[in-house]
Structures are given as C-alpha cells and as structure tokens.
Amino acid sequence: MMSKKILNLSFLILTLTGINAAAVETALGPKLGRAASAEEIARWEISVMPDGKGLPEGKGTVAEGESVYMSKCLSCHGPKGEGASADQLAFAQMELTDDWPEKTIGSYWPYATTLFDFNRRSMPMQAPGSLTDEETYAVTAYLLYLNGIISENEVMDADSLAKVRMPNRFGFIDVYEQEKTAK
C-alpha cells in the first residue's frame, strides 16, 4: 500500500517536472534569432485586402507613375511594361483561354488592390519594399493605364483604387464558397 502511494507520488512529481520543463523550453524557444520589435512588426503589418482595407493614405497619377516606372521598373519590365528580363505587364495579345495565354495585369489579376500590395512589398526587385506609398499608388496607376483599365487623368488613392474593376475579376474559382454550398 505504501509502495503504491510512493509510486503515485513519484509519478505525479515526474509529470509535473516534465510539464514545467516543457513550458520553460517553449517560453525560451529554439534560441534562433531574436524577438521582433513592435516597430518591425508594424512595418510588416501592411496587408491590403481585395476590398481596399489596409490601403494607406497617399495618391498617385499616371504621369507620376510613368516617371517612377522609367526610373525603377524599366530595366526589368521593358518599355511600357512589354517585358524584358522580368514578366510582361501589359499589352497581352493572347487571352487566358488561348493555347499560349499571356498573364498580364489586365488579363490575369483579379483586383487592383492586390497589384498595389504586390508592388509595395516586392518591387523593385533589387530593393523590395523601398517604394513610398505615393510611388506605389503612382506606378499602380500607370500600370492600370497601360492595360486600358483606367484613363490617363485618373488619380489613384485608397478610395479610387478599391473601386477599380479588373477585367478578370470573376475569372477565379472561389473554392471556399464552393465548399460552403456543397455542404
């Protein structure tokens, strides 16, 4: 009887010690890198949703965007987005349903806000994330203009960009919606 109590007590002590050790190890982590500061996390919290939620203040015109494009995009994407060492951005000659589809901004992208988000995070290739919000609005306006989606005189900002309707907006299948309706 006494040995059973000792056994149970020993088991309890070992279990609690193990749980405690696991909690300490979890709190310390794998000891790689360092914790991100609040400022670093704030810089990464820049997601833009398709409806425009998360777009920053600022604005840009097609003319300003052409200037940004010529200085920061031309070397990879070629004159007027026709493609060079990087993808063609405009002037698709083939539809997505053709044998050789061309995926340009105008033929493929479903939301203008996604274009803004992508450009802000990852362009230009040699300095991702270096464009200001105004430069990003401007180059986005220029690219939308090259694709015939907006006119030359339009100004892009958080309100107007969210209202842009892309030609392929309904060209994607919403698998989440399909799953909901299948149930």
Answer yes or no: is 178 within a domain.
Answer: no
Answer yes or no: is 183 within a domain.
Answer: no
Answer yes or no: is 181 within a domain.
Answer: no
CA-to-CA distance for 51 and 162, rounded, in angstroms? 6
pLDDT of residue 27: 62
Can you give the CATH number for the domain in which 116 is found?
1.10.760.10
Answer yes or no: is 130 within a domain.
Answer: yes
CA-to-CA distance for 165 and 54, rounded, in angstroms? 18
**% of the chain with per-residue pLDDT over 70:** 85
Chain segment 127-166, per-residue pLDDT in tens: 999 999 999 999 999 999 999 999 999 999 999 999 999 9
In terms of residue numbers, what domain contains 26?
A: 1-33
pTM summary value: 0.75
Cβ-count burial 76-104 (b if 16+ within 10 Å, e if not): bbbebbebeeeebbbbbeeeeeeeeebeb
Q: Minimum mean pLDDT among 6-20, 67-81, 152-166: which range?
A: 6-20
Same domain for 161 and 116: yes
What is the separation of C-alpha 135 from the centre of its chain, rounded to a whole number of angstroms?
17
Residue 122 has pLDDT above 70, yes or no: yes
